[in-house]
A and B are shown apart, each in its own frame.
Chain A
């Protein structure tokens, strides 16, 4: 799993900078931030969107594509903030790489949100056809 996240992030933003932080990114930050924000938070938000807002509550006010997009952007925002927060928590040497990593995390969280949506939307009462 560590290698999967390492592959994903380094594919977009290259090797960690400064290089001294490589072990910290590869063994701690990539898997932790990836696991929590890409998988866990994204999954929870997808479930909230399809099965709380558009299933349990049945208000029908959130079934449009732009509601879905709003959720996706909120998820990306959380992913961005969480990546920076986690890097600071681990006292990573300040570098623009932290922000590139946060962008990459936001991008992948949006991608995962889209994939989870395709996988999970079909049993939603109101939004089985959102975004399409």
Chain B
């Protein structure tokens, strides 16, 4: 009887202490995502202008006697998406651009697009058109979509050495109005006469008849206020466009933090915040045994800076009191497949779009903290190098490339002072634990 009492008593104590533990403050495993600055996306634009260049060089994209090209389908898709978003687009206006931008009725636009471009204009100076768009078709409440092959062949051949500055000058009104430019690159079959810009060495270029065996690039530029451009880009393209570049977007520091239990080595642990790492034994830092992964939420960034390829080429880490290397950059899914992810981190990883793995290679003074700064310089998008050429006289040989594309894009980028600043600079530190 007494034995049983004793047993019941002990059990009672166990239950009581367990209850006591229950009432204690539980340790929060992870209290959600750290807040990144909100991105404003417009819900409506008053006017959407769709401007299609109709110079002679565009005829091959809209042939009259051939099968449908990808260009025709894509532009029709854009038009259909714009029409179906009635609540988001107040007024839809259509234009053709030759020497000047002229309005065109819906039916004529449709027939031009589908039946083919019967009457093409002469060669069009791109800066001229851009200047018209920047002046008259860009304002608050208005978004303009400009569709062109962007083959820049100025009448004065020496002007081609100033492509970048000419584009920048043409777009200058946008800077004052606070408008942004988003460029999306596509490729399409081309059936007709191709009018090359030439080459830098020899500006004379004769048209290539019955072109082309290769696809030819064309571009969709969206110009307007940032929230409206973000909204239109999301609605007009059904899937993300790989070749894209947005310039003029306001810089927003991304949310970031060290992931405590995944993609790591060494005996470090996090201090209270996710930006400070503590380590008991600094010898591990000296011997290169410490690596860790930093989660970044790059959702709000212009798309050209978000590709793992761009990030792994350009992401830099500077450290004081030691050296640190970038081991790799992955998007969240690739990271989850490549690295061992702790079950506790799964929810946390949802907060980030990309992960960077860093490795500490050496430490100078073991009693001082190792301060790191992760920076991403703003460079030209990676894809532009593969889409540009200095000589487009033989498109079948050079492939789907646009004359001086990098300079055109550079002109857009140089319009905005923030494009000279790093995309972000994030601080982290590693300290010896007390």
Contacts and interface: CB of A to CB of B under 8 A. Distances in A.
A57 B267 contact: no
B260 interface: yes
Interface in A80-108: 81-82, 85-86, 89-91, 93
Given A37-B17, A78-B13, A89 B270 contact: no
Contacts of A90: 26-27
Interface string B1-27: 010001001100110011011101011
Contacts of B18: 82, 85
B29 A57 contact: no
B267 A86 contact: no
Classify chain A: how many residues form its interface, as a range.
20 to 34
Interface string A93-125: 100000000000000000000000000000000
A41 interface: yes
Contacts of A37: 17
Contacts of A61: 2
A13 interface: no
A19 B21 contact: no
B420 interface: no
B383 interface: no
A19 B29 contact: no
B27 A40 contact: no
Contacts of A20: 260-261, 264, 269-270, 342, 344
Interface string A34-75: 001100110011001000010001010110000000000010
Nearest to A75: B10
A24 B267 CA distance: 14
B422 interface: no
A44 B16 CA distance: 12
A19 B269 contact: yes
A32 to B, nearest CB: 7
B266 interface: yes
Given A20-B270, A90-B27, A93-B344, A53 B6 contact: yes
A74 B268 CA distance: 37
Contacts of A18: 261, 342
Contacts of B22: 89
A29 B266 CA distance: 22
Contacts of B267: 15, 19, 22
B191 to A, nearest CB: 60
Q: Which of B2, B20, B264, B267 has the most CB of A within 10 A?
A: B267
Nearest to B262: A20
Nearest to A23: B269
A78 B261 CA distance: 31
A40 B17 contact: yes
Contacts of B20: 36
B27 A28 contact: yes
B14 A81 contact: yes
B281 to A, nearest CB: 9
B343 interface: yes
Contacts of B26: 89-90
A22 B10 contact: no
A91 B344 contact: yes
A95 B11 CA distance: 27
B27 A82 contact: no
B364 interface: no
Nearest to A59: B2
Q: Which of A18, A20, A48 has the most CB of B within 10 A?
A: A20
Closest 9 CB pairs of A and B: A22-B269, A20-B261, A20-B260, A19-B267, A36-B17, A19-B269, A28-B27, A90-B27, A78-B14
5 contacts: A19-B266, A20-B342, A45-B10, A53-B2, A85-B21
Given A15-B267, A85-B21, 10 more contacts: A23-B269, A23-B270, A28-B27, A36-B20, A45-B10, A45-B13, A48-B6, A59-B2, A89-B22, A93-B343
